Chain A
Amino acid sequence: FGSNAEIKVEFANEDASKQITVKTVHGESKKKRIQTMSVFSGNETVGGKIYIAPSGSKRLEHTGIKVELIGQVELAYDRGNHYVFTSLIRELDAPGILTAEKTFSFEFANVEKQYETYNGVNVRLRYFVRVKISRSYGSNIKKEIDFAVQNVRPDPEINNTLKMEVGIEDCLHIEFEYDKSKYHLDDVIVGKIYFLLVRIKIKHMELQILKRESTGNGPNLYNETEIMTKFEIMDGAPVRGECIPIRLFLSPFDLTPTFKNVHNKFSVKYYLNLVLVDEEERRYFKQQEFFLRRKA
């Protein structure tokens, strides 16, 4: 019923500086893959060239060639449904026959891509162009080429410190302070922990970054929490009045910006979890939400 086709897509910005490597999880087997893809900002034009060549018998009859730009949310527990939030089509070719490689230019300008690409445990937000070669007999030929969207945010006008006194009566009182509440992905968390009362035998203290991915709503809300790092900030037991410095660089970790209620489907939040461990392995902790953004 006619041959297949080799489809290749080249984005207009395909130089190394505008490419990123993304870890994705695929299929039932949860196999991890590393994908390199072009990256665009939210208001950038997505365009380039599509090369289509018939393979096999070197002749491809079709009833039309289109390219679509799709942005969608895919939930792990809801595989049948993809929640499309952006969908645009461009016609590339009228019905005809391809006997040799043909190049098509395409462009999606002024497409608002307000959500960032995200690959999580139970949810994925993808952008891709789909080339579709329609045929009157046999199945249509489709190829999807993912691209990433990353949106930068300006520095917030107000960025308060996160400072709080917490404790357990007669046991442990601390004051923690982190220099900001909103950080960018290459930022550094500068802070301190001040001990107001210490009546337990502390073994060590660490600062964890927790990533909480929430999917679904209401009774179907599901949270997946991942510990992105455990960073030891103190070894040994302090006494009252001790002030322990914190300096935690964020760039080594695989973090994303904070996502709040993306397309009503999922959120990704981050927390600083201060954990004190005593000699009997009892853990005392205080979680504090903080916000991450992508900076230009």
Chain B
Amino acid sequence: QEKLLDEAMGIVRSQSFQMKRCLDKGRLMDGLKHASNMLGELRTSLLSPKMYYELYMLISDELRHLESHLLDEFQAGHRVADLYELVQYAGNIVPRLYLLITVGLVYIKSNENCKRDILKDLVEMCRGVQHPLRGLFLRNYLLQCTRHILPDVEDPPPSNNPLDNEQGSISDSLEFILLNFAEMNKLWVRMQHQGHSRDKEKREKERQELRILVGTNLVRLSQLEMVDVDRYKKMVLPGLLEQAVSCRDALSQEYLMECIIQVFPDEFHLETLGPFLQACAELHEDVNVKSIISSLIERLAAFGNKEDGDGIPSEIKLFEIFSQHIATVIKSRPELPLEDMVSLQVSLVNLAQQCYSSRLDLVDSVLANTAHIFDNLNITKIHSGSPLGKELSRLLRLPTGNYNDLLVILQLVNFPKLLQLLDYQGRKTISTFLMNNAIDNGTIIPSPEQVDGVLSLCSSLVR
């Protein structure tokens, strides 16, 4: 692989040198011919994704020189007539489209009036490259080239004149990125079917390495200033979720859902919890849904708890929404491991404590739901060393560690019920934790009834 890459890079450097020499001498057509020869190296099927990436990066740098030269020439008034057409004469599609994107970018930078037309053309013409690896990198090149020039202005009022809005507006940018994203996700998912079945693991690893190429589309969407909550809700998120859910590929789904959470602001997530969580319920069974939802809850909990923030808007019943959707997810995914179900309850408790700290009833409702889950499955004893046991222990420690008041724990009606499900070792550990918490915090137990309650909680230590 390294030898192949070295050979390819050698050709690239040689052709690039010739290209620059021709451009410096004003021989544009010859320069473009060398550029096309250089780009021909990207037609290779011999390189692994990692090596292809190296080659692509080198060539991208060289193309920047071409772009810069053309832009200078255009701006100095030495515009080559029909250059956008001329580069389309190239016989091989990969060099042709890289050149088209480069020239298209120069056209747009020199004359905004062709922006809409050219952006649409470029994203559509890239359909010709259906090879997953080559297609992914080509569309990534398109995305990188256009990162500063996507129209980010309000849509004009509707008009019958097709010549209006030639510079494009936010809807054009959204259409551009969403189409590019859909095509890239398709190619990325398709990679899993390439090659022999014995190389499946290797292919999955390679796919993981390439995920950022697809994710960059989401980053680009998040960078558009005109994408407000309303646009995100109506135009962006539906498009993303449609692709994520429809692709039925665990690797893609898990990555995309995490990416959506990371890349878009919390204010957007607060307004779109319903569709997002609904989508979570429809994901492939191998997707770590627990991790996705927990990740989102953590973010929003932190957002709600921010010192300088406004907190969660009162009209958004955050806890109820998550609680309801988590129940739906659990119901729709019978194969979900029990420990994941409990882990989701842990996240809910965390949310309640961070954002609704006065609402003990919310914490208790989580404990009740958890007990209900175990009831339905006829689970009466849980080994504390098992993954499920560990999660249950976490669930029981969380309110203890948060409130630091044993008397508050006594108010959680469903706490003893869950504690009793643990085996002796587990109950002993939790009891010890409770006692240490009381001692560390100097908790006074004022009434005999409360003493009774505490001693019941610690019965494994007492009896």
- A residues sitting closer than 8 Å to B (CB atoms) are 229-239, 242-245, 247, 249, 252
Could you say which of A230, A235, A238, A242 contacts B134, with CB atoms under 8 Å apart? Answer: A235
> How far is it, in angstroms, between the C-alpha of A244 and the C-alpha of B124 when the chains are bound?
9
Chain B residues with Cβ below 8 Å from A247 are: 88, 125
CB neighbors of A among B1-35 (8 A) = none
For the residues of B in contact with A, the DSSP-based class is helix
Interface: B85 (CB within 8 A)? yes
Say which residue of B43, B88, B93, B131 sits within 8 Å of A237 (CB atoms). B131
Pick the contact of B125: A231, A242, A245 (CB < 8 A).
A245
A-B contact list, 12 entries, CB within 8 Å: A232-B93, A234-B128, A234-B129, A235-B93, A235-B94, A235-B135, A236-B129, A236-B130, A236-B132, A243-B127, A244-B130, A245-B125
Closest residue of chain A to B194 (Cβ to Cβ) is A237
A231 touches B190 (CB 8 A): no
Q: Which residues of B contact A (CB under 8 A)?
A: 43, 85, 88-89, 91-94, 96, 124-125, 127-132, 134-135, 190
Q: Is the CB of B93 within 8 A of A234?
A: yes
Of B85, B91, B128, B135, most buried by chain A (CB within 10 Å of CB) is: B128
What residues of A have a CB within 8 angstroms of the CB of B92 in the complex?
Answer: 232
What CA separation (Å) do A239 and B135 show in the bound complex? 14
- The reply to whether B91 and A231 contact each other, CB–CB distance below 8 Å, is yes
Residue of A nearest to B94 (CB): A235
For the complex, give the distance between the alpha carbons of A40 and B131 in Å.
Answer: 49
CB distance from A128 to the nearest CB of B (A): 34
**Across the interface, which residues of B come within 8 angstroms of A243, CB to CB?**
127
Give Cα A237 to B190, complex, Å: 10
Q: Which residues of B contact A252 (CB under 8 A)?
A: 89
Contacting pair A230 B125 (CB below 8 A): no
A237 to B128, CA, bound (A): 10
Contacts of A245 in B (CB 8 A): 124-125, 127-128
- A230 neighbours in B (Cβ, 8 Å): 91
Report the minimal beta-carbon distance from B242 to chain A, rounded to whole angstroms: 16
Shortest CB–CB separation between residue A185 and chain B, in angstroms? 15
A242 to B183, CA, bound (A): 11
By a CB distance below 8 angstroms, the chain B residues around A236 are 129-132, 134-135
Tell me the complex Cα distance, A245–B124, Å.
Answer: 8
Q: A239-B190, A247-B88, A249-B88 are in contact. Are A233 and B131 (CB under 8 A)?
A: no
Q: Please name the residue on chain B nearest to A233 by beta carbon.
A: B128
Judge whether A242 and B88 touch: CB under 8 Å: no
A224 to B129, CA, bound (A): 33
| A244 engages B134 (CB within 8 Å) | no
A231, A242, A249: the one within 8 Å of B130 (CB): A242
The answer to whether A237 touches B91, judged by C-beta atoms less than 8 angstroms apart, is no
Contact of B127 among A237, A239, A244 (CB under 8 A): A244
Question: Which residues of the other chain, A, contact B43 by a CB distance below 8 angstroms?
Answer: 235
A231 contacts which chain B residues (CB < 8 A)?
91
Contacts of B125 in A (CB 8 A): 245, 247
Question: Which residues of chain A have C-beta atoms less than 8 A from B93's C-beta?
Answer: 232-235
Q: Within the complex, what minimum Cβ distance (angstroms) separates A210 from chain B?
A: 16
CB of A123 to closest CB in B, whole Å: 28
Hey, which chain A residues are within 8 Å of B88, CB to CB? 247, 249
Taking a contact as CB atoms under 8 Å apart, the answer to whether B89 and A244 are in contact is: no
Closest 5 CB pairs of A and B: A236-B131, A236-B130, A232-B93, A238-B130, A252-B89
B1 to chain A, nearest CB (A): 21
Are A235 and B127 touching (Cβ within 8 A)?
A: no
Which of A229, A236, A239, A249 gathers the greatest number of chain B CB atoms within 10 Å? Answer: A236
Shortest B273–chain A CB gap in Å is 33
- 8 further A-B contacts with Cβ under 8 Å, apart from A231-B91, A235-B131, A238-B130, are A230-B91, A232-B96, A233-B93, A234-B130, A236-B131, A236-B134, A245-B128, A247-B88
Q: Which of A229, A235, A239 contacts B128, CB < 8 Å?
A: A235
Bound together, the chains give a CA A243 to CA B124 distance in angstroms of 10
A237 to B187, CA, bound (A): 10
Measured CA separation A243–B183 after assembly (Å): 12
Closest Cβ of chain A: how far from B139's Cβ, in Å?
Answer: 13
Asked if A237 contacts B130 (CB within 8 A), the reply is yes
> How far apart sit A242 and B91, CA to CA, in the bound complex (Å)?
21
Hey, which chain B residues are within 8 Å of A239, CB to CB?
190
Q: Which of A229, A238, A244 contacts B91 (CB 8 A)?
A: A229
Least CB distance from A278 to B in Å reads 14
| Distance in Å: Cβ of B283 to nearest Cβ of chain A | 22
Q: What residue of chain A has the Cβ atom nearest to residue B135's Cβ?
A: A236
Within 8 Å by CB of A242, from B94, B96, B127, B132, lies B127
CB-nearest residue of chain B relative to A243? B127
Instruction: Provide the bound-state CA to CA distance between A243 and B88, in Å.
Output: 19
CB distance from B332 to the nearest CB of A (A): 28
B128 touches A244 (CB 8 A): yes
How far apart are the CA atoms of A236 and B194 in the complex, in Å? 11
Complexed CA–CA distance, A234 and B85 (Å):
19
Q: Nearest Cβ distance between residue B224 and chain A, in whole angstroms?
A: 26
Say yes or no: A232 contacts B127, CB within 8 Å.
no
Complex CA–CA separation, A232 to B128 (angstroms): 9
B94: A residues at CB distance < 8 A: 235
CB distance from B270 to the nearest CB of A (A): 37
Known contacts A235-B43, A235-B94, A244-B127: A249-B132 contact under CB 8 Å = no
* Complexed CA–CA distance, A249 and B130 (Å): 22
Minimum CB–CB distance for A103 against chain B, Å: 41
Query: Which residue of the partner chain A has the closest CB to B131?
Result: A236
* Closest chain B residue to A237, Cβ basis: B130
Chain B residues whose C-beta falls within 8 Å of the C-beta of A244 in the assembled complex = 127-128, 130
What A residues does B135 contact at CB under 8 A? 235-236
Q: Is the CB of B91 within 8 A of A235?
A: no
Are A235 and B130 touching (Cβ within 8 A)? Answer: yes
A242 proximity list for chain B (CB < 8 A):
127, 130
Q: How far, in whole Å, are A232 and B89 apart by their CA atoms in the complex?
A: 11
User: Which residues does chain B contribute within 8 Å of A229, judged by CB atoms?
Assistant: 91
Closest to B97 in A: A235
A176 to chain B, nearest CB (A): 14
Residues of A within 8 A of B132 (CB): 236
Rounded to whole angstroms, the CA-CA distance of A69 and B94 in the bound complex is 51
A199 to chain B, nearest CB (A): 13
**Which chain B residue shows the least CB distance to A231?**
B91
Q: CA–CA, A231 to B89, complex, Å?
A: 9
A241 CB to nearest B CB, Å: 10
Could you say which residues of chain B place their CB within 8 Å of the CB of A235? 43, 93-94, 128-131, 134-135
A191 to B381: give the CA distance in the assembly, Å.
68
CB distance from B46 to the nearest CB of A (A): 14
CB distance from A166 to the nearest CB of B (A): 19
Q: Which residue of A lies closest to B96 (CB)?
A: A232
Q: How far is the CA of A268 from the CA of B92 in the complex (A)?
A: 27
